[in-house]
Chain A
Amino acid sequence: MSSARMPSQRLHAALLAAPAFAILAVLFAVPMLLLFVVSFWRVRNFALTPDMSLAAYARVFDTYGDVLVSTMINGGLTALICVGLGFLFAYAARFRAGRWGDALILVAIVTLFGGYLVKIYAWKAILSTDGFVNAILVASGLSAEPLDTLLYNRGAVIVALVHFLLPFAILPVYGQLRNVNDIQIEAAHDLGASGHQTLMRVIVPQCRTGLFAAFAISFLYAAGDYITPRFLGGGSGSMIGQFIAQEFSTRFNWPAGGAMSFVLMAASLLVLGLVGALFVRRRPS
């Protein structure tokens, strides 16, 4: 590559990236910056007053510490389940389904058509006292009467989130599994590896970044969700997103909402950082 062409190539790259960059900057970075500033302000008589106060942040930990931890747990469990199930599905599509592999992935994507609210309502119906699960429990004699403990808890939230997020977890893993060629797997067996050793030492290491991407997408979405917990969460399933939404919509307490948002973001990045350190190994140099 000649150095004379470099500037025009850079310009080219900049032009290609510009539209997406503009959207991200205008719709994400700028509002975030504003919110960050506002999170240090105060509310007096329902009006925002500029300030340099950490009161809103202090309140997050006093009042919402438990919910924050619970949110991280819900998000983490959801993401782990998505990564596990997503890997199994992607593995089956890549290594066991033959030429039907791509079709299986398409089916997974098609389930996204259902939409997100529809899935929440569906689970509400499935898990309700006169729902599908209870009907089976009662009919099979496993339970004398319908259980009202299926809904409005952590489990219901995680089930619905996994249902919605699974396709997003499958895709990045599948993308990377396609790079693992069959010869590598034959070579591993040839060199003495059992099926399990081949999986752990040849296949999984080569889709680490895909697994991490699957975890990150599922986790960030789940930890930030405020609709699912509101409909299905009840007490134990409540998450901080609900309370952030409340601060903005009904309480008009932007500093509180902002501070909670940034604490949530920091906590999420911390979790991702820790998980990332486990998932992503550095390449040999």
Chain B
Amino acid sequence: MTRMQARMRAAPRTNIRALLRGIPAAAWICALVALLNGVAWSIITPPFQGRDEPSHFAYVQQLAETGTLPHEVAEGGGPSPRENKAIEGLHQYEIMLAPEVPAISSVSEQRALKNDLSEELSPVGSGEAGVATSEPPLYYALEIVPYALGAGNTLTQLQLMRLAGAVLAALTTLLAFFFLRELLPGSPWMTTIATGCIAVQPLFGFMSGTLNPDTMLYTVSAAVLLCLARAFRRGLSMRLSIALGAAIAIGLVTKLNFIGLCAGIFLGLSLIGIREVRSHGREALKPIGAATGIGLSPVLLYAVFSGGSLFSSIGDVITFNNGGFFKEVSYAWQLYLPRLPGMSHYFPGIETYREIWFDRFVGLYGWLDTQFPTWVDNLALIPAGLIAVLCLRTLVVGRERLRSRLPEIATYALLLIGLLVMVGHSAFSSYLSSGAAAFGDPRYLLPVLPLLAAILVLAIRGAGRWAPPVAAVILVTFLAHDLFSQMQTIARYYG
């Protein structure tokens, strides 16, 4: 081997090392905090009490044990006998949605559970994975690794899979840190404080501590935001376009909700493309083409291998429901905003923007059954309002500078709107099929968590000369929110 060949072979490793060495200690600490928080939540939340956790476990099990994707079954659909036994032993059905019923508590129940888990039962179920059946497979495929390490013990497998979610939370936090550095350069200590805040955001921590593809969606979305911010600030190089394309591809085969982000992503790419063509000519279109091509190609591949099931799922997602376009728009509007005159009343007696989105963001853990008392939600309006006012102050003061960044702001706004529309569409489908009033869950908005961090940076800036003490108070408020959320969940399950 020549010296040149040896150097070329060593180059990628050196680059990765250099890349890792270039990450500031503050970013590593924030990531470690998010990891520890996710692990703590994984212990606090009893097994299978995460949102739809039995369905997600069934998906991984189906993939790991049979090598096939889950599918709808006409009759008798359900988890494997092995998973079912664990669920029964944990009294999962009695505990979920019933805050008055704690987790199993006696030594005899623990012994019975242990005996149940040691039984030689089939890990192959009906082939259905409940609400997860129609989801794309990437997250579940990755979870096969911890599943295999669990050596056939359902609870060990689930715990290891939850830990993978905590690792993803650390990665999300790291990406959010660099997103903030690109988006709002010039205030490194504010970036650190804001990233620290989202590292302990309790809903993010809770989700990271459970088995749910949302955790990977958060990571991929943070990567997309970072790529876009970098492209807006430094231009779209071929390397960056490949990274963005890969993030889009991974997002599309991670969770269908990612489709909601696509409008914003492609608007951003188009705006960057126009800018680049103006300054560098048509050559600049190559990276745009690469990002789009890479982003969409795995989806086509997957569609071929899954016999078109992905297309039917996407078709279900983007087709308007039988209720009609205007009804759906009216429903989606009221899911987030006050009803306008002439609209049908879909949520009588409920202020959705407050009671679904704000109150549930303040605290909704477990299987939608662990909340704070109403006075806590009311109290939370004070810090939230102060943060909003300080953020607005920064925006108003710096409005001249904002104009030059309108394309970037429009991109992030469309990302958020696309996500809201996607969630509104799913909620309306659920409303039509089951009559459920609304399936609004703030966890669906966490893919734009790095934007919340950006709001925090702007709020800290808005405090002017009081910025350092205000930042300290905001950070401890987030930490306290996390700790009290954990205490509330412990009281609900183990009190």
A and B together in one complex: no
Q: Residues on B close to A: CB < 8 A? A: none
Chain A residues engaging chain B, CB cutoff 8 angstroms: none
